[in-house]
Amino acid sequence: MNSALEKQLNLLDYALASLWRRRLKNSSVLVVFTAVIFLVASFHLVTTALTETAGAVLRQTPEIVIQKMSAGRQEAIPVAYGEQLSRLFGIKKIVPRVWGYYFDEPFQANYTVLGVDPAAMPMGEHLVQTLLAGAWPGSAANQAVVGGAIRELLALSVAPPTVEDDFPDHSLFALHRPDRSLKLLSTVGVFRDETALLTADLIAMSLADARDLFQIPADLATDLCVYVHNPAEITNLARKIAAILPDTRVLTRPQIEQTYRVVFGWRSGFAAVCLLAALAAFVILAWDKASGLSPEERREIAILKILGWETADLLLVRCWEALIVALLAFVAGCTLAWLHVVFFEAALFRPVLVGWSVIHPPFALTPRIEVKDLLLLFVLTVLPYLAATVIPTWRGAVVPAEDALNG
């Protein structure tokens, strides 16, 4: 075997024996370090998942949304407002939309009801890509697409039911109109999990059904969605629209994206500062512990030097020790973080990043780990620990054997 490799194996042997001898201390370091990495990795996974999910869903939204304001309060907008904008160059299409929040008292859950007409939307045919199963509501009335969480909450199946599942029809559910009459809806599709951040509590239906549910006249809508030819002109067009329709609020997609970024940004920034402070405290603790080499450790260094170990050998042993602890903590921390986010829905960070209120219904996060994320975590956690343990050892190892022996 190559002698350099054999030497490394010797050093590794020695490092393992050394770790085992100080197993109590090293186990404590491992547990604390794993906890720190777990927190940092969980947080990073949740933030990434939320940001990416929001970004992916927002890319499907209209470029401009117009809402009618009355004394600072939003109210239904006449569909005819769209006609006043027809002379504006650059607008591809204006589509009315009806939406509103629906509180389902028996389940203590809030749903978001959205009525759109995919056929009228420029990219309407692409909406089917957001579905995990089924189809977007067609021309037939009383059809709906629901978020995964609602499907689970109401135990819905997607129509058409199989023969065995024919009765009772589990695709059906009912919502109350303002007059307390029931509107029966058939589930024809379910949104994909990847879009859960915005669709978990969503019930999408045709414009007509939404109007029927909320009892909104056919000439009114909740807002008007404006699609443009050139995304670079969004801001200009929004300004012109606001000038033409002074009693409206004009929201652009970049503004909404920015709002999400700010919301996640300050929350993640707040939590990141707390976590980085914990990480820094751990590194300082490791540094403090390692820099104050104990008499026993100084004696060990002296004996090894007298037996012919070079400074580089001593450093390599400490490198191996630190690397073993750090890698074990890294793998354990990242694995626990993944389990925490996927199976426990990031219970520790969800209130900070998603909101402090109780979310009904709950939704699942779908984190994605990339090599660059792992590298980032590695750089943030493992490298500071290696530096904090190896540099003090180097300082101890370059001391002449005599001085080390005399303490």
> Which residues sit at the interface with other proteins, rule CB under 8 A?
1, 3, 6-7, 9-10, 14, 17-18, 20-22, 300, 303-313, 400-402, 405
Instruction: Evaluate the CA torsion angle 301, 304, 306, 312 in order and state its sign.
Output: negative
Q: Which two tokens stand for residue 221?
A: 């809508």
Least Cβ distance, residue 329 to other proteins (angstroms): 21
Least Cβ distance, residue 407 to other proteins (angstroms): 13
Least Cβ distance, residue 20 to other proteins (angstroms): 7
Q: Which is nearer to other proteins, 238 or 397 (CB)?
A: 397
Least Cβ distance, residue 26 to other proteins (angstroms): 12
Least Cβ distance, residue 27 to other proteins (angstroms): 15
Q: How many CB atoms lie within 10 A of CB 218?
A: 11
**Chain centroid to CA 327:** 25
Least Cβ distance, residue 315 to other proteins (angstroms): 12
Q: Which is nearer to other proteins, 19 or 251 (CB)?
A: 19
For tokens 């404006």, the residue is 226
Q: Which is nearer to other proteins, 285 or 312 (CB)?
A: 312
Residues 6+ apart with CB under 8 A from 213: 102, 113, 115, 175, 177, 183, 205
Residue 357's identity, in one-letter code, is S
3-state secondary structure at position 327: helix
Least Cβ distance, residue 194 to other proteins (angstroms): 51
Q: Which is nearer to other proteins, 332 or 401 (CB)?
A: 401
Q: Which among 142, 222, 220, 213 is positioned nearest to 184, based on CA atoms?
A: 142
Euclidean distance between the first and the last CA atom of the chain, given in angstroms as a whole number = 38
Q: Which among 211, 102, 117, 214 is positioned nearest to 147, based on CA atoms?
A: 102
DSSP codes of every residue in 105-121? GGGTEEEEEEEE-GGGS
Q: Which is nearer to other proteins, 21 or 92 (CB)?
A: 21
Q: Which is nearer to other proteins, 5 or 80 (CB)?
A: 5
- CB-count exposure of residue 188 (10 Å: 0-12, 13-18, 19+): buried
Q: Which is nearer to other proteins, 49 or 322 (CB)?
A: 322
